Amino acid sequence: MRRSLLLVLMCSLLGACAHAPDDRPAESSLLKQWEPSPEIRQRLIDAEQALQGGNFAKALALYEGTWASGYHDPFVAYGAASAASRAGDAAKGLAWMRHSSNAGLSDVGGLRKDPSLSALRAQPAFEAIVTRVQENARRIRAEGHVGSELPASTPEAEGLSADALAALLKAAEESGTSGLVLLRHGRLVGEWYFGGDTRRIETMSATKGVVALAIGLLIDEGRIASADAPVSTFFPEWKQGRKAQVTLRHLLNHTSGLEAQRTAMDIYRSPDFVRYALEAEVVDAPGSRFFYNNKAVNLLAGVVERASGEKLDAYLRRRLFAPLGIRDVAWQKDPAGNPLGMSGLRMHPLDFAKLGQLLLQRGQWQGRRILSEAWIRECTTPSVPALSPTGGLLWWSLYEKAVKVIEPEMLERAKAQGLSEELVTRLRPWVGRPLAKEDFLTGLVPALGGMAPFMEFVQKAAPLEPRSQVAGALQGYAALGSLGQFLVVIPGAELVAVRLAEPDGSVPEERMEFSNFPSLVTNLVRP
């Protein structure tokens, strides 16, 4: 997998990006944001596809044309630099990388690790570009007040195990972590960027936990009666048939019954993610089946807008981020301008940790009530234990032990949907075996031949999913996203931990998931 300008760029195509109107950022320009036009968005998608397909000349021309049109996003210039470098033109690659750094690029780690830039790193002039990008990162941190209002301390002073911390940091680095933050007793005890620096990172599906906070804020304000309000309250076209039975709680706990695929590829092809969800059929009785449903969560963005009169991102900037001193935030949008519900929130790890600290403090921040304690409790408690023992309202409970079991019915459905006999044969020994999540990645995924065959199995088995089982004490809760994005809260230990990552090509995707991160975090405070 290649470095994520390329993932980041694709995530940015539908959302706001930092920019400057010329090559040299003016004072405070690094926090400015803009949105691409439909034409620019399509051009960048075409450029990314050309780059992924090895047509570097075409990709370079598309990036150069985008820049010439006045869209001076630093990742556009980064894309041009990557394309030029891979085409063998190091001089042009360096020139475009200078454009990127001058326009505000702050991803130091990417510069040092991205395989597509290896030819540029061999050039003497490259270190000056790295220095400039480091300066950008420091300026963005200062201008964005990143991590403000978090008093500093040390791991030793806050009682964290030195051995457990060393094990955590080693595992974090080996799994391709971009940023890791630890708070204890409300104090910042450490932040680590593994050769990079702080920047906004896509939180992937951990975004969903923040969407749940928006619903809670609107309930607190009386704009939503409760989580049991019917979706038809906000979208009257849902007053007929099964759709009339769907409540916000069903959307929040993945039991709406809304037709959906296991991946989100069909969603990304839609011009309007909210409308796409509204037009889907309810294929299961609401409340009868758990199925992780990106499409249903996107509908919550529309609910927030109908209830508040503001887009989801604007509402949360005003009601949640601003009171916590969080300024440098971006949110991916669909072509119709809807902020995504399923993913798309990009934050600095330190600021993401602030959200966890708010929950740990039962909704209060510096003596001010931001969110009700009742909603935090409701979000972070298993909502339908019989269907999903770890699932709250877009938050996930953390138990001492949690396993998943592939049932025979799941394998048979995948086989009926065309799963190859070879994969069926490889899967049979794993059916009925309780597997921790890390065992899926370190055992099952290699046994199937990689992540792609594993995902093929999961997709063909949908809507059936592995059965979850839990044992031991409830330790805390988390917002979770793919690539191993974590916001972990351990209330009994007054501990908050954030781990965010972007792929740089140095670590396989299954290792990036860092499945044992929560257990390594809890080890920090074990007696």
Mean pLDDT of the chain: 91
* E-assigned strand segments in 463-520: 467-481, 485-490, 495-500
| Angle made by CA atoms 365, 143, 195, in degrees to the nearest 5 | 95
Indicate the residue among 143, 165, 183 that finishes a domain: 143
What is the domain extent for residue 130? Answer: 5-143
User: Of all residues in the chain, what percent carry a pLDDT higher than 90?
Assistant: 79
**Is 497 inside a domain boundary?**
no
Residue 284 has pLDDT above 80, yes or no: yes
Residue 31 has pLDDT above 70, yes or no: no
Indicate the residue among 379, 408, 432 that finishes a domain: 379
**Is 153 inside a domain boundary?**
no
Lowest mean pLDDT among 81-90, 196-205, 265-274, 460-469: 460-469
Number of folded domains that form the chain:
2
Q: Across 41-55, 452-466, 478-492, which has the greatest mean pLDDT? A: 478-492
Residues 237 and 97 in one domain: no
- Taking CA atoms, 52 is separated from 45, 79, 406, in Å, by 11, 11, 34
Half-sphere exposure of 259 (CA within 13 A, CB side): 9
Closest Cα partner for 180 from 201, 211, 208?
Answer: 201
d(CA 14, CA 12): 5
Span 226-250, mean pLDDT? 98
Whether the Cβ atoms of residue 501 and residue 349 lie closer than 8 Å to each other: no
Residues 222 and 294 in one domain: yes
**Is 450 inside a domain boundary?**
no
Residues 234 and 114 in one domain: no
**Is 42 inside a domain boundary?**
yes
pLDDT of residue 281: 97
d(CA 5, CA 522): 33
Question: Phi/psi of residue 64, each to 5°?
Answer: -65, -40
d(CA 402, CA 472): 9
**Is 405 inside a domain boundary?**
no
Banded model confidence at residue 18, pLDDT cuts 50, 70, 90:
very low
Span 394-398, mean pLDDT? 97
Residues 230 and 308 in one domain: yes
Q: Tens of pLDDT along 291-335?
A: 999 999 999 999 999 999 999 999 999 999 999 999 999 999 998
**Is 222 inside a domain boundary?**
yes
**Is 348 inside a domain boundary?**
yes
Compute the Cα dihedral for 442, 447, 449, 453 and give only its sign: negative
The three-class DSSP label of residue 188 is strand
Amino acid at 20: A
Half-sphere exposure of 500 (CA within 13 A, CB side): 29
Radius of gyration of the chain (CA): 23
d(CA 320, CA 352): 12
pTM score, two decimals? 0.90
User: Of all residues in the chain, what percent carry a pLDDT higher than 70?
Assistant: 94
Note the Cα 488 to chain centre separation in Å.
14
Banded model confidence at residue 209, pLDDT cuts 50, 70, 90:
very high
Residues 104 and 213 in one domain: no
Residues 129 and 235 in one domain: no
Q: Tens of pLDDT along 407-456?
A: 999 999 999 999 999 999 999 999 999 998 778 778 888 899 988 898 89
Rounded to 10 degrees, the C-alpha dihedral 193/194/199/200 comes to: -90
CATH number at residue 12: 1.25.40
pLDDT of residue 41: 83
Whether the Cβ atoms of residue 323 and residue 365 lie closer than 8 Å to each other: yes
Indicate the residue among 362, 379, 396 that finishes a domain: 379
Taking the alpha carbons at both ends of the chain, their separation in whole angstroms is 40
381's tokens: 């408690």
| Three-class HEC string of 403-468 | EEECCHHHHHHHHHCCCCHHHHHHHHHHCCCCECHHHHHHHHHHHHCCHHHHHHHHHHHCCCCCEE
State the residue for tokens 């092809």: 269
Half-sphere exposure of 38 (CA within 13 A, CB side): 5
Q: Tens of pLDDT along 111-167?
A: 988 889 999 999 999 999 999 999 999 999 999 999 998 999 999 999 999 999 999
Amino acid at 220: D
* E-assigned strand segments in 195-272: 201-202
Farthest CA pair distance, the chain:
67
Residues 366 and 221 in one domain: yes
Span 262-272, mean pLDDT? 91
CB count within 10 Å of CB 438 equals 15
**Is 199 inside a domain boundary?**
no
Residues 208 and 139 in one domain: no
Residues 290 and 211 in one domain: yes
CATH number at residue 368: 3.40.710.10
d(CA 270, CA 336): 9
SS3 content of the chain, % helix, strand, coil (to 5): 50, 15, 35
Residues 359 and 215 in one domain: yes
Amino acid at 315: Y
- Beta strands at 368-369 and 364-365: parallel, antiparallel or unpaired: antiparallel
d(CA 221, CA 371): 10
Residue 34 has pLDDT above 70, yes or no: no
Residues 93 and 227 in one domain: no
Lowest mean pLDDT among 6-20, 398-412, 418-432: 6-20
Residues 108 and 211 in one domain: no
Mention every residue, 6+ apart, whose C-beta is less than 8 A from residue 27.
none
